[in-house]
Structure 1
Amino acid sequence: MYQKAALILASASPRRAELLAQIGVSFQVVPANIDETPANGEQPNAYVKRMAMEKVAAVAKLYADRVVLAADTSVIVDGEIWGKPLNRQHAKVMLNGLSGRQHQVVTAIAVHYDGNVELAVSETEVLFAVLTDQQIDRYVATGEADDKAGAYGIQGAAGCFVERLNGSYFGVMGLPLYETAVLLGKTGMTVGPR
């Protein structure tokens, strides 16, 4: 059995850190430094799984005696992977592309422990309302879109753009809590209320 502080979070995402803390998990942050470029022709689900596996493997090499958790989230539009915007103009283009349309958010979670790796995937359908240019401009000006897949954070001001959601709200944030709790439970960690 692992102690609470035995977990390494292989991510620099403040949202993932907040969500882990929310479910009572103590952890140390050690971001993975890997190339996140999709391979030619790589399917979105395969890409997020590969990213989560590569992130967890990179950090587990350094902390073989610890539980390591990594995740990757992508916004998928018409079968195309949408990562983080390159700049604010690109963020506006992305948000225009999401306006009035349904898209998918896929998050893969990988946990490495005792030489084993467990993987889970969360898929969520998100429908955006029709957005005006003014709404997009105001949102992008907040800076909230800068480091988010698909150029939005559902937990922030962009939450009012979401007309309907089918799946995991937390998966859209970047760490589906149910799947995370199940994977961490397999390591013997206690997750949730104490």
Structure 2
Amino acid sequence: MNPFILASGSPRRKELLKQARYSFEIQTSTIEEKIEVGLSPANVVEQLAQQKAEDVWAGNQQAVVLGADTVVVFGNAILGKPSDATEARSMLRKLSGNVHHVYTGVAICSKKGITTFSEKTEVEFYPLSEEDIEMYIRSGESFDKAGAYGIQGFGAYLIKQMIGDYFTVVGLPLAKTMRALKDVGISPKV
């Protein structure tokens, strides 16, 4: 069986793959992410996931390499990871009481080629008071997540409802990813 490598340092993706009983190594990509102008959010996350996976696969061509990327989209704006508390506050204020979309793109590189796909989930926030926003920022969860929040953990407090795949919001559409991995010979250890 070929080695399986996760091309991501995301603790959430690592946890999801462990939860699904995969055996894998982690090698984070060191490329500078580049986004083509004018792409749809789905194409953006697929392109970024592919860049990460190809970067790691270039040095591990006997392996199956999984890359992923997640963005939050509110209106026509892509919200990435906030650079500081001020930016996190701004993002959370925008999302407060509103509906937004979370896109996660996945790329799998193997000897069989490259498979890419993305999933989209609709998320609605409760209206947030300034106290709610400050409490969430103090939790520390805002700073390494697209849109300044994570649905798992304390961030569940923010979410009124969701339409779509919960795991897409966490950072890896698990069921679809598992099926794609099966197609390239990677199975859970059960």
TM-score, length-scaled by structure 1? 0.94
- CA–CA separation in structure 2 for the residues paired with 1:88 and 1:144: 11
Q: Which amino acid aligns with 2:52?
A: K
Is the 2:35–2:47 Cα contact (8 Å) retained in structure 1?
no
SS in 1 for 2:134: helix
**Structure 2 counterpart of 1:67:** 64
Using the aligned pairs only, state the percent identity.
38
Structure 1 residues 73-92: aligned runs within 5 Å: 73-92=70-89
| CA distance 1:82–1:38, shift in 2 (3 Å) | farther
1:101-143 C-alpha deviation (Å, 9 max, x unpaired): 0000000111111151111211100000100000000110111
Is the 1:91–1:146 Cα contact (8 Å) retained in structure 2?
yes
SS in 2 for 1:145: helix
**Structure 2 counterpart of 1:113:** 110
Q: CA RMSD in A?
A: 1.2
Aligned equivalent of 2:165, options 153, 158, 168: 168
Aligned equivalent of 1:122, options 119, 129, 151: 119
Structure 2 unmatched runs, 5+ = none
- CA–CA separation in structure 1 for the residues paired with 2:163 and 2:85: 28
Structure 1 residues 83-102: aligned runs within 5 Å: 83-102=80-99
Is the 2:67–2:107 Cα contact (8 Å) retained in structure 1?
yes
Post-superposition offset of 1:46:
1.5
TM-score, length-scaled by structure 2? 0.96
- CA–CA separation in structure 1 for the residues paired with 2:176 and 2:140: 29
- CA–CA separation in structure 2 for the residues paired with 1:19 and 1:13: 10
- CA–CA separation in structure 2 for the residues paired with 1:81 and 1:126: 14
Q: Which amino acid aligns with 2:124?
A: L
Q: Count how many residue pairs are aligned between Structure 1 and Structure 2.
A: 190
Post-superposition offset of 1:80:
1.5
